[in-house]
């Protein structure tokens, strides 16, 4: 199962990269991305539904990849909030400071 997920993840990425780079035929790369994503989705739903959990929000759990993410909005060091943000706690960004307060009271 892990091997098939790995192959599907690579295929999905190649499909996305091909489309982004404008490779042709475009629909071939789009098909690769969509088909591979459906394979991964089926595995996730059957065997790893917890992969979507990240604190109170239902976000992908990036910590499994060693990436710090805000537990409320999912922003990361590389992809911050549109208005800009900083870390105010281990997994809380400044944009979500109010959300964190509300969640604890
Ligand atoms: Zn946030
Ligand atoms: Zn943020």
80 C-alpha to ligand 1 centroid (Å) = 8
Q: CB of 80 within 8 A of CB of 74?
A: no
87 C-alpha to ligand 2 centroid (Å) = 8
**Beta bridge partner(s), residue 57:** 54
Is pLDDT at 32 greater than 90 in this prediction? yes
Average pLDDT, the chain: 90
pLDDT of residue 101: 57
pLDDT of residue 93: 96
Q: Which ligand lies nearest the alpha carbon of 84?
A: 2
Q: CB of 73 within 8 A of CB of 88?
A: no
Element (H, E) at 92: strand 92-93
pLDDT of residue 61: 84
Q: CB of 37 within 8 A of CB of 31?
A: no
82 C-alpha to ligand 2 centroid (Å) = 8
pLDDT of residue 105: 41
pLDDT of residue 54: 65
Q: CB of 85 within 8 A of CB of 77?
A: no
Domain ranges (residues) in the chain = 2-47, 62-104
Portion of the chain with pLDDT greater than 90, in percent: 69
Q: What digits encode the pLDDT tens for the residues 45-75?
A: 888 877 777 666 788 888 888 999 999 999 9
């Amino acid at each position: 199962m892990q091997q098939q997920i790995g192959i599907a993840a690579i295929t999905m990425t190649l499909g996305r990269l091909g489309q982004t780079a404008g490779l042709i035929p475009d629909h071939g790369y789009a098909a690769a991305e969509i088909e591979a994503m459906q394979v991964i989705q089926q595995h996730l739903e059957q065997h790893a539904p917890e992969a979507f959990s990240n604190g109170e929000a239902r976000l992908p759990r990036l910590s499994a990849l060693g990436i710090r993410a805000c537990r409320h909005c999912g922003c990361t060091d590389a992809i911050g909030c549109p208005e800009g943000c900083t870390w105010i706690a281990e997994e809380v960004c400044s944009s979500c400071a109010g959300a964190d307060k509300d969640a604890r009271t």
